[in-house]
Amino acid sequence: MVNATIIVKESAMSWDLQQDCVDCVAHAFYNLRIREQNQIAKFVKCELDSKYGESWYCIVGHSFGALVGHDGEYYVYLQVENVYVLIWRMDMECESKLVPLRLQATRSGDEIKAQGY
């Protein structure tokens, strides 16, 4: 394992699970050298789904806002260099209550606007 500094900004996980998330993220960044943020998120999600069961989610980016519902003890927010990683698990009961919102993206200059209908 590469000697990497990953900062735990916020956590609602057991230490062991948190450490597993940190190790998974470090592996994606430093051993596999994945550079595309969406591919890092996909890798982390797939690894956690495989190891702990489905319903894991991951956001990776330099800047984002998020308000997520999560299963009580399954949430961690990390910083890797200048990139942030948000990982959480939503239980199936909560997930089944979600109502899908259909969005249509339109392009106007450099802005992308989502219009619900």
Distance (Å, rounded) from C-alpha 101 to C-alpha 71?
22
Domain ranges of the chain: 6-116
pLDDT of residue 67: 72
Query: Within 13 Å of residue 4, how many CA atoms lie on the same side as its CB?
Result: 22
Angstrom CA distances, 68 to 7, 30, 77, stand at 20, 27, 12
pLDDT of residue 64: 85
**Which CATH class, in words, describes the domain spanning 6-116?**
alpha beta
User: Which tens digit of pLDDT belongs to each residue from 9-63?
Assistant: 999 999 999 999 999 999 999 999 999 999 999 999 999 999 999 999 999 999 8
CA 85 to chain centre: 6
User: Which tens digit of pLDDT belongs to each residue from 54-94?
Assistant: 999 999 999 888 777 666 789 999 999 999 999 999 876 55
